Amino acid sequence: MPDQERLLSLQQVSKNFGGVQAVKNLSFDVNSNEIVGLIGPNGSGKSTTVNLISGAVPPSSGDIIWRSQNVNKLPISQRVPLGLARTFQTTSLLAEYSVLDQVLTACHTSYRVSPWRSVLRMKDARAQDEEQVEKARELVEFVGLGEVTNDLTSTISSAQQRLLMIATAMAADPKLILLDEPAAGMVAKERKELANVIKRIRERGLAVLVIEHHMGLIMEVCERIVVLNFGEKIAQGKPEEIQRDSAVIEAYLGGVH
């Protein structure tokens, strides 16, 4: 594919929590402008992998490479400006904020103008503020929440809250967005809308790493899927390859018995 860059590379990454090996020798890449799925049964290490990539927890061993730079030791606050953003498996919104303000807060966090410059040149600062409001408004509409722009985040539906988390993550202008179970609690129609949002995120030039239990959504949006079982990668490939992979079928059916 033209103009594709390797954004993220996990190289033999492991994470132990006491005696629990949550992730074992995991290696995979995410390229720019690509939608990659990360799937696996409950407890297989998906959220831990996202925590490792975003910087919430350090790896026990192995390397996390972001655009040729080893980021093992960088905290979340230093990874976000490099272009890594995430949403959480559980919603974490500011209840007393409006939908627009929630996104605006995240826009301000990524604000590049020095605060001194803003204080000294009020007019300039006001113009910058308007720019941020415009940006937040565009993101709210982008995820399909235009109609609830001024509603409190606590009063919108849980599906809308999940979309709001995506808009909030996008406010930091990431190159890769990590989505941990964005469809949790959604009904079929809402999942369809979410699938469209994820595809349109890619059309904006971003890469997406999505964790999901809803196979329909994963198979529809992902170009490549990485499958974990007990912390290990057991398969990687295109959706149609994963669907007929015997190790994957065994891992999922095994969980049913």
* Residue ranges in contact with ligand ATP by CB under 6 A: 17, 20, 22, 40, 42-48, 89
Token couple for 256:
């049913």
What are the C-alpha distances in Å from 142 to residues 20, 67, 137, 197?
40, 27, 8, 8
Q: How far is the CB of 125 from ligand ATP (least distance, A)?
A: 41
Closer Cβ to ligand ATP, 220 or 232, answer by number:
232
Select from ligand ATP, Mg ion, none the partner in contact with residue 214, using the beta carbon and a kind-dependent cut-off of 5 to 8 Å. none
| Distance between CA atoms of residues 90 and 15, nearest Å | 21
Q: How far is the CB of 230 from ligand ATP (least distance, A)?
A: 9
Select from ligand ATP, Mg ion, none the partner in contact with residue 45, using the beta carbon and a kind-dependent cut-off of 5 to 8 Å. ligand ATP
Closer Cβ to ligand ATP, 42 or 114, answer by number:
42
Closer Cβ to ligand ATP, 173 or 232, answer by number:
232
Token couple for 79:
């990874």
Q: How far is the CB of 19 from Mg ion (least distance, A)?
A: 20
Select from Mg ion, ligand ATP, none the partner in contact with residue 103, using the beta carbon and a kind-dependent cut-off of 5 to 8 Å. none
Select from Mg ion, ligand ATP, none the partner in contact with residue 17, using the beta carbon and a kind-dependent cut-off of 5 to 8 Å. ligand ATP
| Distance between CA atoms of residues 87 and 212, nearest Å | 13
Q: Does 91 bind Mg ion (CB under 5 A)?
A: no
Q: Which of residues 11-70 bind Mg ion (CB under 5 A)?
A: 46-47
Q: How far is the CB of 42 from ligand ATP (least distance, A)?
A: 4
Q: How far is CA 157 from the centre of its chain?
A: 20
Q: How far is the CB of 21 from Mg ion (least distance, A)?
A: 16
Beta strands in the chain, from DSSP E residues, in sequence order: 6-17, 20-31, 35-39, 61-66, 69-70, 84-86, 176-180, 207-211, 224-229, 232-237
Q: Would you say 9 and 35 are in contact if contact means Cβ atoms under 8 Å apart? A: no
Q: DSSP 3-state assignment of 21?
A: strand
